[in-house]
Structure 1
């Protein structure tokens, strides 16, 4: 492992929170070396030196964005969106009947598919939400992906990944070989550049926060810090959704898991109590029948062999 790689990893951790293990050296270099060649630098060492000296903010931005993994697609993993439709949104519609206002934050929004997926679900509730003010704020570290998200133009391949055909025909207009989401859907989402390590209190309070598949790239201390600040932005009865491989295990946080909906978290004081079906204990194990007299180790081994055979 080269010293330049180690220094670059330290720089990425300090500026963006991204944790790159030594085993990721090939991945890091494969994404950064095109920038080195584009800038006609002598190598990774010269790039790191420029970053350390702060000589080129644009170059620093390009390096961080190159290391940001922007994998996403419409209704990714399905379950978090089913939960929004069946659990979170109905609960908030009932709780916000007087103020008729709903705010949603899609953190690490990438090219916008998550935010637009939520907007399309809200459209399904249009008859129940007449007069409501709905705001969806979508943020990401990389400005380049946000530019694509604002345009809302996706390839045939991108709209085929997770997007039901009826929704494609209802909310998108075909432009040549691509599809652009409607002006109405785009007007529902505000895209903003944001580093999760920076202060995001300025975003205001949210009823729902989707922060999926991003915390896995931070160390435990960063995760706890981000979740603590995110909780401060969460309405007392609001919801936080994490990725399928993410949890709060080992982290000090004011959030607790929803008792019946995996992947959803709430403030402890607002979390619903488990229903009877969720709390019902598993039946006690059936006691093993006593062994007959003289049934020792040899007989047990022989019985296992007969079972295997």
Structure 2
């Protein structure tokens, strides 16, 4: 293991939680060599030295380059089926009095996941008439968030997972790109956030999507994040993880839903200690909502 690899692994784990496994070393060359050249540096060794010299902008760009992960519309399909067929019907019944639903995409990346949820809710039509919907998309990468805010995607990106009828219904062509309609973009708020840091100011959510993120963390970091999610979710709310992720062996705060892979809820005993009320007023720091 080279000194440069050791340093990058340590730095990434400390600042993003990303545990760079040995089999992922190829990412250093593929993602950081172009960054080094953009910075006028000949290679990875010089990049690492510049990081050690305290170049904050460069350090942030390294973390951002290494933690950008693949995403596409309606990825894996099944979670969005669960959202439509299980989670939303339950939320409509449980939230009938307050008529408000809060959703957090804890790794919103370039927007395909939060916008998939927004389009799914639009498809519910009259069932959500008069409801206030809040979707918070957070990500470590400011660049990914800016792309998400713009809602501009290439032909390749919209062809990955997005049904053609939704493309025609919710997007407009902008030159060679496709832009998601303004009313869908208005349903999603964007915040830069590091999951290693405190996120209590976001308030409490009915549903947290955190898919394909924990797989990059070590065991202790996974446990820490999951336990803090328990503080940010309603007593009867839902947590959605990626297909390769689980809470087993990490925490007993959440329990899986029978026959609903990757869907979790708080354990009853734990829920009573985490929440004294089923409905907690969201933190004032996040107030803008979109009506359906």
Name the TM-score, length of structure 2 as normaliser.
0.89
Shift of 1:42: 5.4
Residues 207-258 of structure 1 show CA distances to partners (whole Å, capped at 9, x for unaligned) of 0011001100000000000111111100000000000111112112400101
Residues 2-21 of structure 1 show CA distances to partners (whole Å, capped at 9, x for unaligned) of 11111111111111111112
Q: What's the C-alpha RMSD, in Å, of the aligned pairs?
A: 1.6
2:261 maps to 262
1:199 maps to 198
- 1:1-309 equivalence runs, <5 A: 1-41=1-41, 43-53=43-53, 55-269=54-268
Gaps of at least 5 residues in structure 2 are 271-292
Residues 25-76 of structure 1 show CA distances to partners (whole Å, capped at 9, x for unaligned) of 23213311222222233543343233234x2221011101110132111100
Shift of 1:23: 3.0
Residues 245-299 of structure 1 show CA distances to partners (whole Å, capped at 9, x for unaligned) of 111121124001012311100001199xxxxxxxxxxxxxxxxxxxxxxxxxxxx
Gaps of at least 5 residues in structure 1 are 272-309
Contact 1:119 1:188 in 2 (8 A): yes
For residues 124 and 43 of structure 1, the distance between their equivalents in structure 2, rounded to whole angstroms, comes to 49
Contact 2:172 2:179 in 1 (8 A): yes
Name the TM-score, length of structure 1 as normaliser.
0.84
Contact 2:106 2:139 in 1 (8 A): yes
Q: What secondary structure does 1:135 align onto?
A: strand
For residues 38 and 167 of structure 1, the distance between their equivalents in structure 2, rounded to whole angstroms, comes to 38
Q: What secondary structure does 1:262 align onto?
A: strand
Q: What secondary structure does 2:248 align onto?
A: coil
Contact 2:226 2:251 in 1 (8 A): no
